[in-house]
């Protein structure tokens, strides 16, 4: 990738992010966000407030992906982080997810988190499972039939974990 940069998402980025966010959510294969959300409603689901953050990966002025990150739980669970990722369908296979994943791991380390927990990685999303495993995450459990895939019906959701300390 040339001139790719991961940076904080701005309000001006949201129309580009929402375009692929909406396409991915409506496809019904990887995210359990409500269907049919407006741009404003979706922004509420995606934009993280401090202590979390939302970033985009931009290359040559085009937003190719986005990630959000922060504490998995409040209070006494806030030492474990979590994150969600979306890559524009046209940018898949170009390393965007890996770059965002590496950024998220580094961000959590820099913020002093003890670990990262992904609560809901759809088991049929093989590319994501492979990517997270290549970054050191392990599947610590699978909730059977917890996601209703448009293509596969009810499939499991993996809980994935990466210790940082």
Average pLDDT over residues 121-130: 97
Over residues 57-116, the pLDDT tens digits come to 999 999 999 999 999 999 999 999 999 999 999 999 999 999 999 999 999 999 999 999
Q: Which two tokens stand for residue 77?
A: 């669970």
Query: What is d(CA 26, CA 29) in angstroms, rounded to the nearest whole number?
Result: 8
**In the prediction, which pLDDT does 1 show?**
47
Q: What is the pLDDT of residue 165?
A: 86
165: which DSSP letter?
Answer: -
- The domain in which residue 100 lies consists of 4-163
* CATH code, domain with 8: 3.40.630.30
Q: How confident is the model at residue 3 (pLDDT cuts 50, 70, 90)?
A: confident
Question: How many independent structural domains does the chain possess?
Answer: 1
Considering the chain, what is the average pLDDT of its residues? 96
How sure is the predictor about 2, in pLDDT bands with cuts at 50, 70 and 90? Answer: low
Model confidence at 4, pLDDT cuts 50, 70, 90, reads very high
Give the sheet arrangement for strand 80-87, strand by strand: 4-8, 53-59, 62-71, 80-87, 115-122, 153-163, 138-149
């Amino acid at each position: 990738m040339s001139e790719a940069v991961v940076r904080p998402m701005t309000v001006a980025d949201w129309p580009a992010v929402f375009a692929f966010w909406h396409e991915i959510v409506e496809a019904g294969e990887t995210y359990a966000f409500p269907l049919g959300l407006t741009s404003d409603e979706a922004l509420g689901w995606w934009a993280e407030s401090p202590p979390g953050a939302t970033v985009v990966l931009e290359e040559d002025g085009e937003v190719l992906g986005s990630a959000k990150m922060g504490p998995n739980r409040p209070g006494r669970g806030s030492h474990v982080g979590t994150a969600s990722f979306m890559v524009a369908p046209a940018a898949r296979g170009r390393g965007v997810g890996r770059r965002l994943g590496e950024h998220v791991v580094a961000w959590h380390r820099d913020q002093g988190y003890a670990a990262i927990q992904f609560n809901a990685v759809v088991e049929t999303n093989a590319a994501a499972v492979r990517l997270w495993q290549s970054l050191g995450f392990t599947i610590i459990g699978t909730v059977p039939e917890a996601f209703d895939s448009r293509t596969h019906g009810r499939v499991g959701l993996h809980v994935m974990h990466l210790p940082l300390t």
